Structure 1
Amino acid sequence: MTAPIDRPYTALVVIDLQNDVVAQAYRRDEVLGKVRALVDRARQSRVPVVWVRHGDDELQAGSHAWQIVPELAPAPGEAIVEKGYRDAFEATEMEQVLAGLGVGKLIVAGAQTDMCVRSTLHGAFSRGYDAVLVGDAHTTVDMTHLGAPAPREVINHTNMYWRNQRAPGRSGGVVQSDDVVFE
Structure 2
Amino acid sequence: MTTLENRPNTALLVVDVQNGVVEGAHERDTVVANVGSLVEKARREQVPVVWVQHSDHHLVRGSDAWRIAPELKPGDAEPLVEKSYGDSFEDTTLETVLSGLGVGRLVVVGAETDACVRSTLHGAFTRGYDATLVGDAHTAGDKTAWGAPPPDQVIAHTNLYWAYQTAPGRTAGTVDTRDVDFGGAS
Aligned equivalents of 2:4, 2:86: Cα separation in 1:
22
The equivalent of 1:32 in structure 2 is: 32
The equivalent of 1:166 in structure 2 is: 166
**Runs of 4+ that moved beyond 3 A:** none
User: Considering only aligned residues, what root-mean-square deviation do their CA atoms show, in Å?
Assistant: 0.8
The equivalent of 1:78 in structure 2 is: 78
Aligned equivalents of 1:151, 1:65: Cα separation in 2:
20
Matched, 1:14 2:18: no
Give the percent of matched residue pairs that are identical in Structure 1 and Structure 2.
Answer: 59
Aligned equivalents of 2:122, 2:14: Cα separation in 1:
15
Matched, 1:4 2:3: yes
The equivalent of 1:118 in structure 2 is: 118
Deviation at 1:134, TM superposition (A): 0.1
Aligned equivalents of 1:76, 1:103: Cα separation in 2:
19
Residue correspondence of structure 1 range 61-100 to structure 2 within 5 A: 61-100=61-100
TM-score of the superposed pair, with normalisation by structure 1: 0.97
The equivalent of 2:140 in structure 1 is: 140
Deviation at 1:4, TM superposition (A): 1.4
Q: SS state of the match for residue 121, structure 1?
A: helix
Deviation at 1:124, TM superposition (A): 0.2
Q: Provide, for residues 61-93 of structure 1, a one-character-per-residue CA deviation record: whole Å limited to 9, x for no partner.
A: 111110001000100110001000000000000
Aligned equivalents of 2:66, 2:75: Cα separation in 1:
18
Q: Any unmatched runs of 5+ in structure 2?
A: none
Specify the code of the residue in structure 1 equivalent to 2:162: W
Q: Provide, for residues 20-50 of structure 1, a one-character-per-residue CA deviation record: whole Å limited to 9, x for no partner.
A: 1011100000001101000000000000000
Deviation at 1:57, TM superposition (A): 1.0
Aligned equivalents of 2:100, 2:63: Cα separation in 1:
29
Aligned equivalents of 2:107, 2:175: Cα separation in 1:
9
Aligned equivalents of 1:19, 1:166: Cα separation in 2:
33
Aligned equivalents of 2:122, 2:23: Cα separation in 1:
25
Q: SS state of the match for residue 170, structure 1?
A: coil
TM-score of the superposed pair, with normalisation by structure 2: 0.96
Specify the code of the residue in structure 1 equivalent to 2:4: I
